[in-house]
């Protein structure tokens, strides 16, 4: 290490100590320009005392680094300001990784001074939220001021030192047009989902970790009318809704004495007494699934939520398991009936091979048959030759709800011939409409339970004798 580097580290340490020990000085209350002037003044004072000389560029680096460490997030501050970085992963004091455009890469030349600096960073994040990380509670979920989600875990649970994972969110919330432009779904798919949200259909977004569930949930919430009262419930607040009447609730872990915990399930129960027009649960993980299903079945329509699952069918199994975790002794068949009566739509998110997040499947629940929940795929992403978004070719029964709520959707978007293949690829089947032929006939389906009274109905499948245009006229 050169003398210049030794001087820089010495000066950084002295300036940091002087700023932290200054009585009555709160740098957090200063504006960024005032903060930089104060830090620069301390740097110049230390240089005079040490009779050291640093180039102007080195002085600027020291000012920036000390400012980030004292009032920011240290070495990773610049990564959090990078708009191309979506996730920052600190693995101990020496390894820092980021995710850019869906790909994970190591950040070269960036390291902490030691594990003590990483522990200090964790403390800076969790202390303002009233949380703690110690040997009795060696992991924590938190958030930054801009809504970024933070997870931290420390030894002895982590064998490579303290680990921090920060998932960033865009400064500007994404819009439906943004997702369509990025190729996450097609415009007809977005129009269909928007109509379902406006019609107060109950929708759950499923997918794996980092597949874009929360992002899509935020985009779907933008279709909610501004005159409705929304209550959001989350473990760590992430959702940023644009509506004016939003009540955000956040779960709370137990304190040092092990008391005072407030779970998501408690908040769901409490939200039912807050006169909500809609309840939005950031993620369903446990027994709150039963309370959410009961709320959907008792007049609280239009609920939105997310859950981890590998497919829409797996989500139904997970919901059954989570409902049985509620410590309420219910037969599995009763829980299954609750799910079939409550949910209308499942939107499954997936990650493509190029790292892009996309809607892998949109499935409608079509009631019960022989004790099993029927799922009808509406749209799906197909891999291989002619990869792209394809319609399943069947009319979902939720179209009846959309018609009742005066939401108009062109039924031709459900035709198997109306597939969308991005990136200039050729569709598997050529469109008959372009050849002047009649559009494909659609197959409307009827749910096995009526929404109004819950009385069972036989599941029927009809073949519409006319064209899709005639079917649209009937809906109108």
Position 439 pLDDT exceeds 50: no
pLDDT of residue 6: 42
pLDDT of residue 20: 63
pLDDT of residue 386: 75
Classify domain 73-171 at the CATH class level. Answer: alpha beta
pLDDT band at 206 (very low <50, low <70, confident <90, very high): very high
Tell me the average pLDDT across 4-29.
62
Instruction: Report the 3 state secondary structure along the chain.
Output: CCHHHHHHHHHHHHHHHHHHHCCCCCHHHCCHHHHHHHHHHHHHHHHHHHCCCCCHHHHHHHHHHHHHHHHCCHHHHHHHHCCCEEEEEEECCCEEEEEECCEEEECCCCCCCCHHHHHHHHHHHHHHHCCCCCCCCCEEEEECCCCCEEEEECCCCCCCCCEEEEECCCCCCCCHHHHHHCCCCCHHHHHHHHHHHHCCCCEEEEECCCCCHHHHHHHHHCCCCCCCCEEEEECCCCCCCCCCCEEEEECECCCCCCCCCECHHHHHHHHCCCCCCEEEECCCCCCHHHHHHHHHCCCCCCCEEEEECCCHHHHHHHHHHHHHCCCCCCCHHHHHHHHHHHCCEEEEEEECCCCCEEEEEEEEEEEEECCEEEEEEEEEEECCCCCEEEECCCECCHHHHHHHCCCCCCHHHHCCCCCECCCCCCCCCCCCHHHCCCCCCCCEECCCECCCCCCECCCCECCCCCCHHHHHHHHC
pLDDT of residue 397: 92
pLDDT of residue 113: 82
pLDDT tens string 95-138? 999 999 888 999 998 888 889 989 989 998 998 888 889 888 89
Tell me the average pLDDT across 245-268.
89
Position 351 pLDDT exceeds 50: yes
pLDDT of residue 402: 94
Q: What percent of the chain has pLDDT over 90?
A: 47
pLDDT band at 457 (very low <50, low <70, confident <90, very high): very low
In terms of pLDDT, which residue wins out, 2 or 7?
A: 7
pLDDT of residue 419: 55
The CATH fold of domain 176-475 = Rossmann fold (3.40.50)
- In which residue ranges of the chain is CATH 3.40.50.300 found? 176-475
pLDDT of residue 277: 94
- In which residue ranges of the chain is CATH 3.30.450.370 found? 73-171
Q: Where is average pLDDT lowest: 114-128, 140-154, 426-440?
A: 426-440
């Amino acid at each position: 290490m050169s003398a210049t580097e030794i001087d820089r580290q010495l000066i950084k340490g002295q300036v940091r100590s002087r700023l932290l020990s200054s009585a009555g000085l709160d740098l957090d209350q200063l504006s960024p320009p005032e903060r930089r002037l104060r830090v620069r003044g301390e740097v110049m004072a230390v240089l005079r005392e040490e009779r050291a000389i640093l180039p102007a560029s080195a002085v600027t680096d020291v000012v920036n680094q000390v400012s980030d460490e004292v009032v920011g997030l240290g070495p990773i501050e610049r990564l959090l300001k990078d708009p191309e970085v979506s996730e920052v992963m600190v693995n101990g004091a020496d390894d820092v990784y980021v995710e850019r455009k869906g790909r994970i890469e190591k950040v070269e030349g960036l390291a902490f001074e030691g594990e003590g600096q990483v522990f200090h960073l964790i403390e800076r994040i969790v202390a303002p939220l009233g949380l703690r990380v110690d040997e009795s509670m060696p992991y924590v979920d938190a958030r930054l001021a801009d809504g970024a989600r933070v997870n931290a875990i420390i030894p002895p649970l982590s064998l490579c030192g303290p680990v921090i994972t920060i998932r960033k969110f865009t400064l500007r919330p994404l819009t439906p047009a943004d997702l369509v432009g990025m190729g996450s779904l097609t415009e007809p798919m977005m129009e269909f989902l928007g109509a379902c949200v406006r019609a107060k259909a109950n929708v759950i977004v499923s997918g794996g970790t980092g597949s874009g569930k929360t992002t899509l949930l935020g985009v779907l919430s933008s279709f909610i009318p501004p005159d409705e009262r929304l209550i959001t419930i989350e473990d760590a607040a992430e959702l940023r809704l644009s509506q004016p009447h939003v009540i955000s609730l956040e779960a709370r872990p137990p304190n040092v004495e092990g008391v005072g915990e407030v779970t998501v399930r408690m908040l769901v129960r409490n939200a039912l007494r807050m006169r909500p027009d809609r309840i939005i649960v950031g993620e369903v993980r446990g027994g709150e699934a039963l309370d959410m299903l009961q709320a959907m079945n008792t007049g609280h329509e239009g609920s939105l939520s997310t859950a981890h699952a590998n497919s829409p069918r797996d989500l139904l199994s997970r919901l059954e398991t989570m409902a049985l975790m509620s410590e309420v002794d219910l037969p599995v068949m009763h829980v299954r009936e609750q799910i079939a009566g409550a949910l209308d739509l499942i939107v499954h998110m997936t990650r493509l091979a190029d790292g892009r997040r996309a809607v892998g499947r949109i499935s409608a629940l079509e009631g019960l048959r022989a004790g099993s929940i029927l799922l009808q795929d509406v749209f799906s992403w197909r891999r291989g030759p002619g990869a792209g978004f394809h319609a399943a070719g069947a009319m979902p029964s939720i179209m009846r709800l959309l018609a009742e709520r005066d939401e108009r959707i062109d039924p031709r978007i459900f035709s198997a011939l109306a597939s969308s293949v991005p990136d200039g690829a050729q569709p598997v089947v050529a469109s008959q409409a372009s050849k002047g032929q009649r559009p494909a006939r659609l197959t409307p389906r009827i749910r096995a339970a009526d929404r109004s009274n819950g009385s069972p109905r036989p599941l029927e499948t009809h073949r519409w004798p006319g064209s899709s245009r005639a079917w649209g006229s009937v809906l109108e």
